[in-house]
């Protein structure tokens, strides 16, 4: 019997293009705050000038944001002035370096057009998050869950958590989360196969995460303990243990060396990251940080993504099957939560939801697979009702969130970058979604009907009053860009439908 064509396509590729199509459709095509702009400019300056500086030379914006005494060591809003007089961002180089291939693609296509370059770079988070969904599927399959369960958990992560809104931003959290999960996945693959290459891959991913976000270093002891547990099970003797331990630690050590060298190159000290005095701000009452990051109306993880509450219904069953992995998946979010709860900036600043928790939400998601498996196997109606309610509510929140500019939502709810509004229900940005979506939808329909151009007052109207999708802006620009939009948007929809059909055939159809 002839093999059907779609069975020759790797399922991982189908899953990637399915989620990537969704994320590309809901992109905004612009940056939101100084944070993601800084990461972009580091990439641009590295490619064009060979320097990891924050702003391009001569850009007038910098004059309005530097202190009056701009000497080396002077702190700026997002970094410090380095020893050579240039302004450097306080963030790690990992994300800016990883985005170089996309920048080169944008440069080849758009040349020096800034809008085209930035639009290309904004595809980075959709790409990483789509890869994360594939990695979740592969990990759960290795943990002996069915394809149906694994894919449903992918849907929960990709469409009902903060992962979806964060595909619109150029923040580091999606990349760090992917790297940490891949490091865990590679260690588990070593557990199954005994192949030392997986130890190398795991150490490399962990090291890259440290270079992207320095706080990732606190996960290192947990992964080392897990590795020692794996090596002890093998009973390979002291020499074999040291050899495998070295393979894991070698790439991690190399990245730490690069981070310290990067610090010295910028600021003349291996210990200076650019955060300056802010790195010492671990004085916040821990209970306030815990409550704020998990349950507060303004920044609570379970308020912005109620589907993650299913973690508590699945962790015990998951632990019975995979005790060591369950402990690892509990420990990583816990150490992140405790660390940031002590920091004065635990709320993540002027960002959508609990920004720091975006990195570790995937580890709360994986044990949910046990809940979904119970529903498939035992048809538990009460559990099914709970899952449908939490997943449905979470999907609605994320769907509304990707349609609006979160800066407009937060300012519209009277929120600034302080923590004064975090615990007040009336200032919750989640409530703001339901408040502002109808008016923005109405204004979008009006803009399309009246063919409002993206210039002058029309630009402000579309940017701040309409839904926050890139194709609305590009269609309003008119000319060739409108024709290209009208050509590519149907292609993206076609990709979504085609890959959705292939998933149905591969996962839900027998034979």
Question: Could you read off the pLDDT of 148-180 as tens digits, one per residue?
Answer: 999 999 999 999 999 999 999 999 999 999 999
Q: Give residue 510's pLDDT.
A: 64
**What average pLDDT does the structure give for the chain?**
88
Q: Give residue 69's pLDDT.
A: 52
Q: Give residue 418's pLDDT.
A: 66
The DSSP annotation for 338-404 comes to HHHHHSTTTT-SSSSS-HHHHTTHHHHHTTHHHHHHHHHHH--HHHHHHHHHHHHHHHHHHHHHHTS
CB-CB contact of 203 with 248 (8 Å): yes
pLDDT-derived band at 245 (thresholds 50, 70, 90) equals very high
Question: What is d(CA 335, CA 397) in angstroms, rounded to the nearest whole number?
Answer: 27
Q: Report the alpha-carbon angle 291-297-299, nearest 5.
A: 65
Helix, strand and coil in the chain, % to nearest 5: 70, 0, 25
Question: What is d(CA 11, CA 507) in angstroms, rounded to the nearest whole number?
Answer: 9
pLDDT reading at 14 higher than 50: yes
pLDDT reading at 292 higher than 70: yes
How far apart, in Å, do the first and last CA atoms of the chain sit?
12
Q: Report the alpha-carbon angle 219-90-175, nearest 5.
A: 45
Q: Give residue 63's pLDDT.
A: 41
Which residues, at least 6 apart from 181, have a Cβ–Cβ distance to it below 8 Å?
132, 135, 136, 139, 362, 363
Average pLDDT over residues 13-36: 92
Average pLDDT over residues 403-409: 91
Find the helix or strand (DSSP H, E) in which 88 lies.
Answer: strand 87-89
pLDDT reading at 227 higher than 50: yes
Question: What is d(CA 144, CA 135) in angstroms, rounded to the nearest whole number?
Answer: 14
pTM here?
0.93
Question: What is d(CA 57, CA 53) in angstroms, rounded to the nearest whole number?
Answer: 9
Per DSSP, the chain holds a count of helices (H) and strands (E) of: 24, 3
Q: Are strands 87-89 and 79-81 parallel, antiparallel or unpaired?
A: antiparallel
Average pLDDT over residues 479-507: 91
Per residue in 1-13, pLDDT (tens digit) is 455 666 778 899 9
Q: Give residue 59's pLDDT.
A: 45
Beta strand segments in 138-295, E = none
Question: What is d(CA 375, CA 370) in angstroms, rounded to the nearest whole number?
Answer: 9
Chain center to CA of 349: 16
CB-CB contact of 41 with 55 (8 Å): yes
pLDDT-derived band at 283 (thresholds 50, 70, 90) equals confident
């Amino acid at each position: 019997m002839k093999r059907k064509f779609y069975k020759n396509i790797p399922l991982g590729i189908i899953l990637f293009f399915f989620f990537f199509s969704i994320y590309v459709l809901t992109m905004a095509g612009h940056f939101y705050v100084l944070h993601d702009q800084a990461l972009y400019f580091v990439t641009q300056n590295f490619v064009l000038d060979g320097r990891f500086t924050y702003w391009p030379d001569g850009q007038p914006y910098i004059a309005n944001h530097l202190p009056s005494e701009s000497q080396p060591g002077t702190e700026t809003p997002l970094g410090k002035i380095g020893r050579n007089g240039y302004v450097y961002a306080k963030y790690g180089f990992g994300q800016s370096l990883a985005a170089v291939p996309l920048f080169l693609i944008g440069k080849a296509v758009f040349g020096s057009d800034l809008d085209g370059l930035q639009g290309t770079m904004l595809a980075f988070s959709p790409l990483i998050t789509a890869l994360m969904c594939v990695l979740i599927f592969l990990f759960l399959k290795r943990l002996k869950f069915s394809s149906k369960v694994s894919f449903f958990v992918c849907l929960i992560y990709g469409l009902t958590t903060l992962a979806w809104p964060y595909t619109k931003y150029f923040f580091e959290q999606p990349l760090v989360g992917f790297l940490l999960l891949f490091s865990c996945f590679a260690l588990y693959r070593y557990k199954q196969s005994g192949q030392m290459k997986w130890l190398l891959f795991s150490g490399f991913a962990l090291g890259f995460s440290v270079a992207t976000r320095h706080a990732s270093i606190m996960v290192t002891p947990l992964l080392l303990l897990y590795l020692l547990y794996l090596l002890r099970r093998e009973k390979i003797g002291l020499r074999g243990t040291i050899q495998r331990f070295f393979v894991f630690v070698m790439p991690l050590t190399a990245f730490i060396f690069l981070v310290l060298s990067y610090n010295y190159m910028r600021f003349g000290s291996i210990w200076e990251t650019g955060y300056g005095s802010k790195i010492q701000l671990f004085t916040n009452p821990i209970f306030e940080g815990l409550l704020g990051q998990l349950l507060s109306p303004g920044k609570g993880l379970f308020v912005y993504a109620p589907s993650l509450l299913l973690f508590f219904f699945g962790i015990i069953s998951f632990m019975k099957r995979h005790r060591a992995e369950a402990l690892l998946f509990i420990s990583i979010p816990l150490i992140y939560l405790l660390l940031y709860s002590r920091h004065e900036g635990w709320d993540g600043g002027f960002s959508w939801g609990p920004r720091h928790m975006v990195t570790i939400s995937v580890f709360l998601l994986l044990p949910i697979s046990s809940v979904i498996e119970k529903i498939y196997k035992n048809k538990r109606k009460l559990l099914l009702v709970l899952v449908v309610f939490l997943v449905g509510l979470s999907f609605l929140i994320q769907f509304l969130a990707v349609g609006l500019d979160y800066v407009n939502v937060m300012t519209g709810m009277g929120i600034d970058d302080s923590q004064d509004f975090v615990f007040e229900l009336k200032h919750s940005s989640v409530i703001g979604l339901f408040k502002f979506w109808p008016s923005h939808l109405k204004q979008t329909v009006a803009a399309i009907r009246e063919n409002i151009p993206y210039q002058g007052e029309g630009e402000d109207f579309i940017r701040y009053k309409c839904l926050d999708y890139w194709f609305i802006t590009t269609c309003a620009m008119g000319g060739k860009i409108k024709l290209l939009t009208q050509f590519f948007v149907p292609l993206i929809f076609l990709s979504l439908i085609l890959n959705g059909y292939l998933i149905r055939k591969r996962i839900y159809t027998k034979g």
